């Protein structure tokens, strides 16, 4: 499940914009250029077989922005859970501009069974905000950004769960080359630590990553997944 959650977040780990003036969602995700839509497919690498296309994806993620860079909507589809006969989905619909952001989250394990929740960004300083779940005050997420408004830390909290993800981004020739995420989570008193290393293999014409290799080990020897990304621009 941890791998699936990280794959969902893959659109956020992309190349940086050199000059940043004011905050927008697109800047937070590190996208270069006037990106309109990002499509992301996560594919597992089983038995040392490296996926070469999106066939057999375990997650599909779509995110759209308006022209100034405000998030409009995200949509996630996960591979069917055959044993249960269900296909999990989630959709996020954003409202607001700049730092004044709220959203509705619609999630479902199967068609026709959507659960809706409402969330609000509450800024604590120029580079830190908390996402409040208005329907469940016991859960929240705190996001820390760097000076270019890229995510460097996420803290997720609820009654019985706490997770901290710390992100290190390595650049080469002005483009993102590698992202290392070190995670610690505590569920019902059980602590777990993990590492995820994302290596960019290919870029599109705007230097946004288009193919990434994902490793869940520090020595980068056993490939865990491959991510394919496409972009549309204004």
pLDDT of residue 60: 94
Per-residue pLDDT of 21-76, as tens digits, reads: 699 999 887 789 999 999 999 999 988 789 999 988 899 999 999 999 999 999 99
What is the distance between the alpha carbons of residues 6 and 214, in angstroms, rounded to a whole number?
A: 10
DSSP string, 28-66: HTT--S-EEEEEEEEEE--TTPPP-SSTT-SEEEEEEE-
Domain that holds residue 176: 2-233
DSSP string, 12-37: GS-PPPS---S--HHHHTT--S-EEE
The SS3 of residue 150 is coil
- The tens-digit pLDDT sequence of the chain (234 residues) is 555 545 555 555 554 444 546 999 998 877 899 999 999 999 999 887 899 999 888 999 999 999 999 999 999 998 766 556 667 899 999 999 999 999 999 998 766 678 999 999 999 999 999 999 999 989 999 999 999 999 999 999 998 899 999 999 999 998 999 999 999 999 988 999 999 999 999 999 999 999 999 999 999 989 999 999 999 999
DSSP string, 222-234: SEEEEEEEEEEE-
H helices, E strands: number in the chain: 2, 14
Tokens of 129: 């905000």
pTM of the predicted structure, to 2 decimals = 0.84
What is the distance between the alpha carbons of residues 104 and 150, in angstroms, rounded to a whole number?
A: 23
The SS3 of residue 2 is helix
Length of the chain: 234
What is the distance between the alpha carbons of residues 107 and 218, in angstroms, rounded to a whole number?
A: 33
Number of domains in the chain: 1
What is the distance between the alpha carbons of residues 7 and 142, in angstroms, rounded to a whole number?
A: 19
**Pairing, β 151-157 against β 161-172:** antiparallel
pLDDT of residue 15: 47
The SS3 of residue 11 is helix
């Amino acid at each position: 499940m941890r791998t699936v959650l990280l794959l969902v977040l893959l659109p956020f780990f992309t190349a940086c914009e050199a000059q940043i003036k004011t905050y927008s969602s697109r800047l937070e995700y590190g996208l270069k250029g006037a990106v309109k839509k990002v499509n992301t497919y996560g594919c597992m690498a089983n038995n040392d077989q490296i996926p070469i296309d999106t066939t057999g994806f375990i997650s599909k993620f779509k995110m759209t922005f308006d022209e100034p860079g405000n998030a409009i909507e995200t949509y996630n589809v996960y591979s069917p859970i055959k044993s249960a006969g269900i296909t999990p989905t989630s959709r996020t619909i954003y409202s607001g501009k700049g730092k004044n952001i709220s959203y509705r989250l619609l999630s479902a394990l199967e068609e026709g069974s959507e659960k809706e929740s409402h969330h609000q960004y509450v800024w604590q300083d120029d580079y830190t905000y908390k996402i409040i779940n208005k329907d469940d005050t016991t859960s929240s997420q705190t996001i820390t950004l760097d000076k270019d408004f890229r995510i460097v830390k996420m803290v997720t909290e609820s009654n019985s769960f706490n997770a901290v993800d710390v992100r290190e981004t390595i650049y080469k020739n002005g483009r993102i080359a590698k992202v290392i995420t070190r995670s610690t989570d505590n569920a019902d008193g059980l602590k777990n630590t993990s590492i995820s290393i994302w290596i960019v293999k290919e870029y599109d014409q705007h230097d946004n990553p288009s193919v990434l290799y994902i490793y869940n080990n520090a020595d980068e020897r056993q490939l865990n997944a491959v991510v394919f990304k496409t972009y549309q621009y204004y």
